[in-house]
Amino acid sequence: MADEVPATVQGIYEEVLRRNPGETEFHQAVREVLESLAVVLDRHSEYSEMKTVERICEPERQIIFRVPWQDDSGEVQINRGFRVEFNSALGPYKGGLRFHPSVNLGIVKFLGFEQIFKNALTGMPIGGGKGGSDFDPKGRSDSEVMRFCQSFMTELYRHLGEYTDVPAGDIGVGAREIGYLFGQYKRITNRYESGVLTGKGLGWGGALVRTEATGYGAAFFADAMMQARGESFDGRRVVVSGSGNVAVYGIEKVHQLGGTVVACSDSSGYVVDEKGIDLEVLKQVKEVERARIEAYADRVPSASFVAGGSVWDVPCEVAIPSATQNELDDAAATTLARNGCRYVVEGANMPTTPEAVRVLKEAGVAFAPGKAANAGGVATSALEMQQNASRDRWTFEHSEARLEEIMRGIHARCHATAEEYGSPGDLVLGANVAGFLEVAEAVHAHGLI
């Protein structure tokens, strides 16, 4: 056991390791929260007596199922489906579905555990859950994706409902997949239950700003961090990793707020454009053509492509990791700090390793954890649920204003909680403690269930 785990929570962490062997991402997520909660347990003995933390670390329900389907050549394929319904103290389980070869139970549990606190921080009535499959939609035809989604939903539907569990998209699950999933749910249940899935198409129950929400939200959160220090995005160099949904719309909002994003990436390498990333070209390359990031450099004379390497080698004042978990390690954090980076804002789920977080903290770099900074996606999903429940649709401007209000509110809450618990400016502790207290109160109110 490493020394950093406080004695107050060491026993809880050891029990999590014992009960969940081999699930390293889940262990990492739990540990990061537990390190913040020692100060809470010192003040609130009832949480120790009622084993509140232990209960929150144990999912309410874990569902694993077989997903058989037939590809275009007639060959039978077998994938594995997951849904971890982690905590429903604040509302129906809410969290995305991820279709990617890396998906396993440990990753789904890590994402679901993070989702509990992220959802709590939004102030919306939603619990935490996550799901997905080791199916890879890359290179598959629309017909193959449809057959897989229909098989997947044929099992999952019995566990869902607008008052029970409301999935959304994640990596590998966009509007196309949500459409196929919703169609099969409707077919099986004979109910047009719009609120059972979020991230839907605009013509059939979807919400404006949902596509932009996570990226926009991370930029709003970063802006709130800077304002707390009397600063702003104006004239700042920004690097965003990734070039998917979160990255693209994070770049868009950073530019609107006055910053200049000079680099972004994908799994093949990264591009640097000192004039600022041209969003129209980036959207054409990634959203329309689904091409590699090198294609951006081929079309923009001011841009250069670097194969492989680390996008964090590009000097910047603000870094927004928006690709995947554990992408920013201690070496990258050291480089960022040395090059003058002042803010790191997580656009993805847990993209910064614990070692990197320590490096950033020691270097005085302001750091925002994903459970706070990337809550914009799920916040807007909850707004989509509101609109579905009231058979209404809001304007883009109204939806964006609500998103900005929620994100700035999350920052204010994390900032105030960090101060209250003796660690001013520590947004990791602020987010973990604020989210935990919200969930813990509801857990106690509902009794021992």
- Exposed, middle or buried by CB within 10 Å (0-12, 13-18, 19+), for 302? exposed
Q: Are 161 and 197 in contact (CB under 8 A)?
A: no
Catalytic residue (choose from 109, 118, 130, 200): 130
Going through 49-156 in order, the beta strands assigned E by DSSP cover 61-70, 76-87, 93-99, 128-133
Query: Biggest alpha carbon distance in the chain?
Result: 64
The closest alpha carbon to 210, from 83, 92, 386, 368, belongs to 386
Q: What is the DSSP letter of 97?
A: E
Angle made by CA atoms 83, 88, 93, in degrees to the nearest 5:
40
Give the span between the Cα atoms of 283 and 262, in whole angstroms. Answer: 16
Tokens at 182, concatenated: 């919703």
Q: DSSP per residue over 241-304, as a string?
A: ---SHHHHHHHHHHHHTT-EEEEEEETTEEEEETT---HHHHHIIIIIS---THHHHHH-TTEE
Annotation says 283 is catalytic:
no
Dist. CA 382–CA 386, nearest whole Å = 6
Q: What is the spatial distance between Cα 342 and Cα 226, in angstroms, rounded to a whole number?
A: 10
CA distances to 220, 242, 291 from 224, in Å: 6, 23, 34
Which run of H or of E encompasses 165? strand 165-168
| Region for residue 320 given its phi and psi (left: phi exceeds 0; alpha: psi -120 to 50; beta: otherwise) | beta
Q: Is 290 exposed, middle or buried (0-12, 13-18, 19+ CB in 10 A)?
A: exposed
Non-local (6+) Cβ contacts of 391 within 8 A are none
Residue 90 to residue 444: CA distance in whole angstroms:
11
Residue 159 gets which letter from DSSP? G
Structure letter (DSSP) for residue 418: H
* Residues catalogued as catalytic: 130
